[in-house]
Amino acid sequence: MDQTTTSIPFAIVAIFVGAKLLAELFERLRQPPIIGEILAGAILGPALLGWVTPNPTLSVLADLGVIFLLFRVGLEVKPHEFMSVGPTALAVAVSGVITPFVLGWGIMRLWGEPGIGSIFVAASLVATSVGITAEVLAARGLVAQRASRIILGAAVIDDVLAFLVLAIVSSMARAQVHIAELVLTTLLAAAFTFVVASWGSRAVKQMFPRVRRRLRTSEAEFHLALIALFGLALAASYAGVAAIVGAFLAGMAFSESMEPRVTLLFAGVSELLTPFFLAGIGLRLDLKVFTQLEGLLLAIVITAIAVVSKLLGCGMGAIRLGWADALKIGAGMVPRGEVGMVVAQIGLGMGAISNRIYAVVVFVAVMTTILGPAILGLVWPNSPEPRQDEPAAAIE
């Protein structure tokens, strides 16, 4: 039998079983299970055992995993609650983009990295991986909390801003900056996010029951929700934001209309696919940065900058809520995950960064993804707090 054919089933089984075993271990150690699932990828991947290597099949499963994860999280967020934290989420996102970009660029320039390479590294520190934090918040039953809603709102805005930053940096690398195109794409992305967040739930309430009554197939509601999920994910990518933002907004649109059985079906699919997303991050861990002292020091310094810049930047954007919530929000925005790796891949492909810097950026993306949930666990109580339903004016 063809080795390629047999390696894919083995990789799927190894990733799923390994991720769930380590998740159980970390749960017993009273640590976020998500860390165990990421480490499972690192252990099974090229960094250690080398039993599983990144491949297109695992990448597809990972992409589906994060899409279903964000849809499931969106189901727990009511549109009016999400919109009520808009001004604070905007402040958190803007401050959380500027601070890591400036600090990252400054450190790389002091390290002697060329200008465009420094800018690409800085850009890799900008965007938050909302999938990681969303998984932690959902697993601990904290999605309804005020700080959680701000984190999710800021992460969505963060994605739009990160796209703008990446577009500008890529244009600089090509020495072709088209201001009109950048502005138009940014406005389109912002408009798409605002329209779906504001009127998506209302449209679903009006149209969904009518369409459902006309259908005769079993699980028709589940099928309609799947169509909406993939449709909005696709529309988001065309609008200039990540597909996972469309998935989150789709979940939020259905949050007040979904039947419990359909919610359970989506939870089951998410439980199947999410481990591939989390373990996939660990699979890309590259330990080559440790072979030289300079690379090791740079990786540690950039990781520290990545953590501190989000804690300070995003925390200061929410300081009006008090130090406790500001610290929670800052911790929730720490993970970079796949977002930082995408920026690194673009920079490497354009020749803007070296293989050594690429390895450092991937290491930072993985480490912030591991450290983020751990820090969040330290600053947030283990049990859900009483629900905070302050009027919008109290937190704007």
Give 223-268 pLDDT, tens digit per residue.
888 888 998 888 887 876 667 778 888 888 887 777 888 888 888 8
Amino acid 82: pLDDT:
67
Phi, psi of 115 (to 5 degrees): -55, -50
Position 17 scores a pLDDT of 94
Cα 300 off chain centre by: 22
Residue 174 forms part of a structural domain: yes
319 DSSP 8-state letter: G
Model pTM above 0.85: no
* Residue 84 in domain: yes
Q: Contact, 125 vs 367, CB < 8 A?
A: no
pLDDT value at residue 220: 77
Distance between CA atoms of residues 7 and 294, nearest Å: 36
- Check which CATH number belongs to the domain holding 193 and give it: 1.20.1530.20
Contact 75, 263 (CB under 8 A): yes
* Residue 304 contacts residue 360 (beta carbons within 8 Å): no
Domain count, the chain: 1
Look at residues 151, 159, 152 and name the one whose alpha carbon lies nearest to residue 318. 151
Question: Does the residue 72 lie in any domain?
Answer: yes
Residue 64 DSSP label? H
Average pLDDT, the chain: 78
- Would residue 329 count as lying in a domain? yes
Q: Is there a domain that residue 377 lies in?
A: yes
pLDDT reported for residue 338:
64
Instruction: Give every residue of the chain whose pLDDT is below 50, as ranges.
Output: 1-5, 384-396
Helices (H) and strands (E) in the chain, counts: 16, 0
What is the pLDDT, as a whole number, of residue 176? 57
Angular region, 337: left φ>0, alpha ψ -120 to 50, beta rest: left
Assigned domain for 342 exists = yes
> Is 41 within the bounds of a domain?
no
φ/ψ (deg, to 5) at 207: -95, -35
Residue 247 domain-assigned (yes or no)? yes
Q: What is the domain range of residue 124? A: 64-271+289-383
